[in-house]
Amino acid sequence: MPESLIDQLPKIVAEGKKEVEKILERLSGSNRLTLQTNEYVLPSKDKSGLYRGQMKDISEQEWHNRLIYGDNLLVMQALLAGDPTTGLPSMRGKLDLIYNDPPFDSKADYRTKITLPGTTIEQKPTVLEQFAYSDTWKDGTVSYLRMMYPRLVLMRELLSEQGSIYVHLDWHVGHYVKVLMDEIFGKENFQNEIIWQRTRVQHTDSNRFGNIHDSLLYYSKSKDRIFNSQFTEHKSEYVSRYNKTDESGRKYRLVPLDAAGAGPARAFFGKMIDPPKGRHWAYSQENIDEFISKSLIVLTSNGTPNIKMYYDENKGAVVQSIWSDIAPINAVAKERINYGTQKPEILLERIIKSSSNENSIIADFFSGSGTTGVVAEKMDAGGLCQT
């Protein structure tokens, strides 16, 4: 009987570790990998367009975003080693965010459409359909996991102490990659499995539920990770709770001030009021006095203190781990470039905003059509994209 995947996992991990050890040893040797600069594309000074610069125009001190062509295992080795000839210092421990959207072991080939402009005004552009990449693996999931393991270890080496990694997968291999990532990054650094509803199409398979989501495994290098909460608009049911309007026209709602667990009476408008039985007032006397001075406390008809919560002070609904508000790229979207597995820019925008800060360096080692690089550049973040 062939060995099961579970039986093979320890071997995959042991072999992956050996491979990484060899790679890391080579880094300090003389025959380390270097990058070759092919082309500089510089934003023009006023950012109104692009111009192609010469190598001599470029100061080696400045940070430049890079699009690197090659197998990411080799690219990561070069990044770890650093490359003085192209002005790149070692990137070990320097990346604050890595987003990866690797193949999913979907056993499919993916294509992309390339539009070549017509040579005359009358000529229509030529659209070529081209092979993009194959997601078929010789020994199935085992080969896939063998490919992923050493790459994930090198990514960990590249991450900064405040860094995070998101690996975008689905039901094909997501659960197996999670086991590898627990081993590499530590279970304690697993932050979320984000469920992204990637399609609005109603699947009509009557034998099971429609598979309409991808899973993003989010880990950090340590507990000191960068994280900025994101907000979306509240649902209309929530907004309708703000059913009162003050004299200046601002919408608000009244929220009781008590919370679970017994506590003492506090003074409201010069009168001591007990909290309901077994409850306490959620704020200190100092806070309550401040709220009263700002006209934020109201006594209801039965004398219970409530606090005014204004709608315009609400940042919105905090984004949770289920993302159903990011639509797939529609057929006529401006960002659509007809790359088979292109991801929406807004998805990357949310990840970049959540897990990086200004001056953070961001990388995507399975860049495909380059969505991460495009978004990072638009947001003025530093980016490394491998393709």
383's CB contacts (< 8 A; 6+ apart) are 65, 66, 361, 362, 363, 364, 372, 373, 376, 377
Of residues 243-262, those binding ligand SAM (CB under 6 A): none
Nearer to ligand SAM, 103 or 305 (CB): 103
How far is Cα 55 from Cα 149, in angstroms, rounded to an integer? 36
Contact flag: residue 160 with ligand SAM (CB under 6 A): no
Contact flag: residue 215 with ligand SAM (CB under 6 A): no
User: Which of 35, 66, 72, 384 touches ligand SAM by CB under 6 A?
Assistant: 72
Residues 133-152: x where in contact with ligand SAM by CB under 6 A, - otherwise, as a string: x-------------------
Q: Within its chain, how far is the Cα of 13 from the centroid?
A: 26
Q: Determine the interface stretch with ligand SAM among 51-59, 209-217, 266-274, 367-375 (rule: CB under 6 A).
A: 367-375
Cβ neighbours around 327 below 10 Å, total: 14
Contact flag: residue 368 with ligand SAM (CB under 6 A): yes
Q: Determine the interface stretch with ligand SAM among 78-86, 255-263, 293-301, 365-373 (rule: CB under 6 A).
A: 365-373
Contact flag: residue 71 with ligand SAM (CB under 6 A): yes
Nearer to ligand SAM, 215 or 371 (CB): 371
Contact flag: residue 345 with ligand SAM (CB under 6 A): no
State the minimum distance, in angstroms, from the CB of residue 161 to ligand SAM: 26
48's CB contacts (< 8 A; 6+ apart) are none
Cβ neighbours around 4 below 10 Å, total: 8
Q: Which of 182, 60, 160 is nearest to 363 (CA)?
A: 160
User: Which of 96, 101, 105, 157 touches ligand SAM by CB under 6 A?
Assistant: 101
CB contact at 8 A, 287 and 265: no
The CB-nearest residue to ligand SAM is 368
- Paired strand residues for 99: 166
Residues 294-333: x where in contact with ligand SAM by CB under 6 A, - otherwise, as a string: ----------------------------------------
Contact flag: residue 341 with ligand SAM (CB under 6 A): yes
DSSP, collapsed to helix, strand or coil, labels residue 238 as helix
Which residue do the tokens 């090198």 mark?
154
Q: Which two tokens stand for residue 178?
A: 């999670």
User: Which of 162, 220, 355, 371 touches ligand SAM by CB under 6 A?
Assistant: 371
117's CB contacts (< 8 A; 6+ apart) are 125
CB contact at 8 A, 125 and 113: no
Contact footprint for ligand SAM (CB under 6 A): 71-72, 101-103, 133, 339, 341-343, 366, 368-369, 371, 386
